[in-house]
Amino acid sequence: METPIKITEEKLKASEMVEVIVETEAKAGMSGIVVSGGGKEGLIIRDVVKDSPAAKTLPLLEGDQLLSAHVFFENVRYEDALKILQCVEPYKVSFCLKRAVQSSDVTVSPTSGSVEVKGPKPKMPKMTTNLPEGSGHIC
């Protein structure tokens, strides 16, 4: 039986919540983490097993909440990509796409640096993004 992690209200008020992005190399692995929760509470790291692949390669702490996982599809086998996409089907997912567009269909705002792409209307009203200076891709 799992023991739920209890965080007191005073502890929450005394600390600030920050989002930390951790990127791994291929085969770095998440083996060795124990999670609890799910549903509205989200997934909480309950333990990181000493000397596990996760403990050796990732700066994870007990009590961290897993907000999302981004899987990079560079050099991925077709079968693996299909399995991943099928597994996430029932969940909210964010995709990063690369697409060829005519330069006449792209408008860049000189003041904000935001990019607007004309074309078929997606389900959202408009597709925009902010590109960091010198960035070559949209995500």
Q: Looking at residue 126, what is its pLDDT?
A: 44
Mean pLDDT score of the chain, rounded to an integer? Answer: 74
- Using one digit for the tens of pLDDT, what is the confidence trace for 66-85? 888 888 898 899 999 999 99
Alpha-carbon dihedral of residues 114, 110, 136, 127, nearest 10 degrees? 20
The rounded distance, in Å, linking the Cα atoms of 52 and 71 is 21
Q: Does the global pTM surpass 0.75?
A: no
- Mean pLDDT over 112-137 rounds to 54
User: Quick check: 139 pLDDT over 60?
Assistant: no
Residue 38 backbone phi and psi in degrees, to 5: 110, 175
Q: Give me the residue label for tokens 């965080």.
A: 7
Give the N- to C-terminal CA distance of the chain in Å, as an integer.
Answer: 40
The amino acid at residue 70 is H
- Mean pLDDT over 53-58 rounds to 83
Q: Looking at residue 72, what is its pLDDT?
A: 87
Residue 86 backbone phi and psi in degrees, to 5: -70, -35
User: Quick check: 138 pLDDT over 50?
Assistant: no
User: Quick check: 86 pLDDT over 90?
Assistant: yes
The rounded distance, in Å, linking the Cα atoms of 128 and 115 is 6
Ordered DSSP codes for 40-66: GG-EEEEEE-TTSHHHHH----TT-EE
Residue 40 near residue 15, CB atoms below 8 Å? no
- Mean pLDDT over 88-107 rounds to 82
pLDDT confidence bin for 15, thresholds 50/70/90: low
Q: What is the percent of the chain with per-residue pLDDT over 70, rounded to a whole number? A: 65
For the chain, helix (H) and strand (E) counts, in that order, are: 3, 6
